[in-house]
């Protein structure tokens, strides 16, 4: 029998934003917490990388809702919250319309009434309906049905309202309307925000706060199993070590937690059936472009975020295909990292894992080259002469994301809506086992992950108090 080498109240597997927030909240509540991360750095998908020549790229810092300020102030600290700043210029350019917006309710109301000529009361009612949606509401209406009710036949309006949200969390017109309503309303409350100083600074500040609160952090620690006896969690396996804990919070992919780390034999057949049916969200491709020193980007033309597309209309399946013409450009100016002169562009598209994973090596390479070429061609319109200005250029595919995070199929935004119920039910199946992290669309993205980390920490804390009462 393996030996337990040390004992914790709680072990958190994975240091994504949800795992870190859970670890921090629990440590602040007085528990002894161990955070295990398989990479050498914390953050999960909230990550960045540096390249020779001073280039630095953020992977998932394209924008999040204003709610992040409050969540960071409460679950982290004021210096983190104080660095969250608005991204004022969101640009759309497609065959149906071209416009610039601050992406909040006020400006969208102006656009929808003046530019798209909708009746003011329809717009007001739409916003109010979206805002009233909650995760306890009726999930049978789809987003398509929601749009059909308010804006029948208006593909242009649907595109304006849907395209950014699809990029934000992979949701589609076929998903429950409440997932749309919640995320859309979060953004519309004040627009899009970013973290000044870049992802590297955010994660460093979070790590310092975790250490201040007494969280033990171990990086390069790949957890290979969660040990369960008699329906109760006992600890986790990493390398040759078995580390004991009263509760385990898994921030790895929901399916990975159930089927790889625990094993299906520990769950009821009904639960396994439900868990198997959970659909994963799509993956992504990205192209990272760093501008040579001295080169710059025209902020007035490009804005902070640019949703551009040559497709005549918005279609979910087209947004995922490799023949995609729709992409989001994130422009990073020196203001992103004050004190530097860095200009960078990150282009993102949503993508299907299977379209990339099944390719023979030569074809995979060629597809990656084509992705880069198509991206540069599209960017030329907004940054003339882009090819000559670039000092660093590389691409990531769904295979890259899968390798990095171990998320099944390289899922960028967790699971579809049904995953949330499975995640919530885990502790009823195995005492002391919890899952947190991008799940169910509404709990994904930076804000969703942070909030869900806090929600789950709250459940773990209640569980720990219950256990104490029993002893």
- Residue 159's CB is within 10 A of a number of other CB atoms, namely 23
Residue 211, contacted partner among ligand FAD, other proteins, none, CB below 5-8 A by kind: none
User: How many residues make contact with other proteins (CB under 8 A)?
Assistant: 19
Cβ of residue 384: shortest distance to ligand FAD, in angstroms? 26
Q: Does 461 bind other proteins (CB under 8 A)?
A: yes
Residue 44, contacted partner among ligand FAD, other proteins, none, CB below 5-8 A by kind: ligand FAD
Interface mask (CB under 6 A) for ligand FAD, residues 261-290, using x and -?
-----------------------x-x----
- How many angstroms separate the CA atoms of 81 and 71, rounded? 8
Residue 462, contacted partner among ligand FAD, other proteins, none, CB below 5-8 A by kind: other proteins
Separation of CA 398 from chain center: 14
Cβ of residue 170: shortest distance to ligand FAD, in angstroms? 9
Stretch near other proteins under the rule CB under 8 A, chosen from 53-61, 69-77, 201-209, 394-402? 69-77
- How many angstroms separate the CA atoms of 394 and 383, rounded? 18
Q: Does 219 bind other proteins (CB under 8 A)?
A: no
The contacts found for 109-115 with CB under 8 angstroms, 24 or more apart, are 111/160, 112/157, 112/160
| Residue of 12, 34, 46, 262 interacting with ligand FAD (CB under 6 A) | 46
Give the H or E element holding residue 405.
helix 398-405
Residue 115, contacted partner among other proteins, ligand FAD, none, CB below 5-8 A by kind: none
Binders of ligand FAD in range 414-453 (CB under 6 A):
437-438, 444-447, 449
Residue 38, contacted partner among ligand FAD, other proteins, none, CB below 5-8 A by kind: ligand FAD
Q: Does 191 bind ligand FAD (CB under 6 A)?
A: no
- How many angstroms separate the CA atoms of 51 and 62, rounded? 20
Interface mask (CB under 6 A) for ligand FAD, residues 202-231, using x and -?
--------------------xx--------
Place of tokens 């295979």: 399
Q: 29 by DSSP, 3-state: which?
A: coil
Q: Does 251 bind ligand FAD (CB under 6 A)?
A: yes
| DSSP notation for 76-137 | S-HHHHTTEEEE--EEEESSS-EEEE--SHHHHHHIIIIIS---HHHHHHHHHHHHT--TTS
Cβ of residue 310: shortest distance to other proteins, in angstroms? 39
Nearer to other proteins, 124 or 462 (CB): 462
Contacts of 453 (CB under 8 A, 6+ apart): 17, 18, 19, 20, 21, 22, 25, 75, 251, 436, 437
Residue 444, contacted partner among other proteins, ligand FAD, none, CB below 5-8 A by kind: ligand FAD
Phi-psi sector, 14: left (phi>0), alpha (psi -120 to 50), beta:
left
Binders of other proteins in range 391-410 (CB under 8 A):
none
- Residue 155's CB is within 10 A of a number of other CB atoms, namely 15
Residue 94: how many CA atoms within 13 Å on its side-chain side? 22
Residue 101, contacted partner among other proteins, ligand FAD, none, CB below 5-8 A by kind: none
Place of tokens 């789950």: 456
Stretch near ligand FAD under the rule CB under 6 A, chosen from 44-52, 141-149, 177-185, 263-271? 44-52
Q: What is the CA radius of gyration of the chain?
A: 22
- How many angstroms separate the CA atoms of 362 and 301, rounded? 37
Q: Given the rule CB under 6 A, which residues bind ligand FAD?
A: 13-19, 36-39, 44-46, 59-60, 62-64, 222-223, 251-252, 284, 286, 348, 401, 405-407, 412-413, 437-438, 444-447, 449
Q: Given the rule CB under 8 A, which residues bind other proteins?
A: 25, 29-30, 67, 70-71, 74, 134, 451, 454-455, 457-459, 461-462, 465-466, 469
């Amino acid at each position: 029998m393996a030996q337990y080498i040390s004992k914790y109240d709680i072990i958190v597997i994975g240091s994504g934003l949800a795992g870190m927030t859970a670890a921090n909240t629990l440590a602040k509540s007085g528990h002894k917490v161990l955070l295990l991360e398989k990479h050498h750095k914390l953050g999960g998908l909230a990550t960045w990388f540096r390249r020779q020549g001073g280039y630095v790229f953020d992977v998932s810092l394209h924008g999040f809702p204003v709610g992040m300020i409050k969540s960071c102030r409460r679950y982290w600290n004021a210096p983190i919250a104080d660095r969250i700043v608005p991204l004022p210029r969101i640009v759309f350019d497609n065959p149906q319309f071209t416009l610039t917006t601050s992406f909040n309710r006020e400006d969208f109301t102006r656009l929808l009434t003046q530019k798209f000529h909708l009746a003011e009361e329809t717009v007001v009612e739409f916003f109010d309906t979206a805002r009233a949606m909650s995760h306890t509401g009726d999930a049978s209406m789809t987003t398509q049905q929601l749009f059909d009710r308010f804006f029948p036949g208006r593909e242009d309006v649907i595109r304006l309202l849907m395209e950014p949200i699809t990029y934000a969390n992979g949701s589609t017109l076929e998903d429950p309307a409440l997932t749309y309503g919640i995320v859309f309303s979060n953004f519309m409350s004040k627009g899009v925000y970013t973290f000044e100083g870049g992802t590297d600074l955010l994660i460093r500040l979070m790590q310092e706060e975790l250490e201040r609160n007494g969280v033990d952090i171990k990086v390069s620690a790949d957890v290979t199993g969660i040990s369960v006896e008699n329906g109760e969690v006992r600890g986790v396996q990493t390398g040759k070590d078995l580390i004991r804990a009263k509760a385990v919070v898994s921030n790895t992919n929901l399916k990975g937690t159930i089927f790889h780390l625990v094993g299906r034999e520990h769950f009821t057949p009904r639960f396994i059936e439900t868990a198997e049916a959970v659909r994963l969200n799509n993956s992504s491709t990205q192209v990272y472009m760093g501008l040579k020193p001295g080169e710059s980007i025209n902020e007035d033309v490009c804005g902070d975020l640019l949703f551009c597309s040559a497709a005549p209309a918005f279609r979910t399946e087209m947004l995922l295909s490799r023949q995609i013409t729709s992409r989001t450009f994130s422009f990073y100016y020196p203001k992103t990292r004050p004190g530097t002169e860095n200009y960078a562009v990150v282009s993102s598209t949503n993508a299907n894992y299977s379209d990339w994973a099944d390719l023979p090596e030569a074809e995979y390479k060629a597809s990656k080259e084509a992705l880069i070429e198509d991206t540069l061609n599209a960017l030329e319109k907004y940054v003339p002469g882009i090819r000559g200005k670039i000092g660093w250029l590389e691409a990531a595919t769904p295979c890259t994301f899968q390798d990095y995070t171990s998320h099944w199929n390289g899922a960028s935004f967790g699971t579809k809506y049904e995953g949330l119920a499975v995640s919530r039910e885990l502790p009823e199946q195995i005492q002391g086992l919890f899952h947190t992290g991008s799940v169910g669309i509404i709990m994904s993205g930076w804000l969703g992950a942070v909030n869900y980390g806090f929600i789950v920490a709250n459940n773990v804390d209640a569980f720990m108090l219950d256990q104490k009462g029993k002893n």
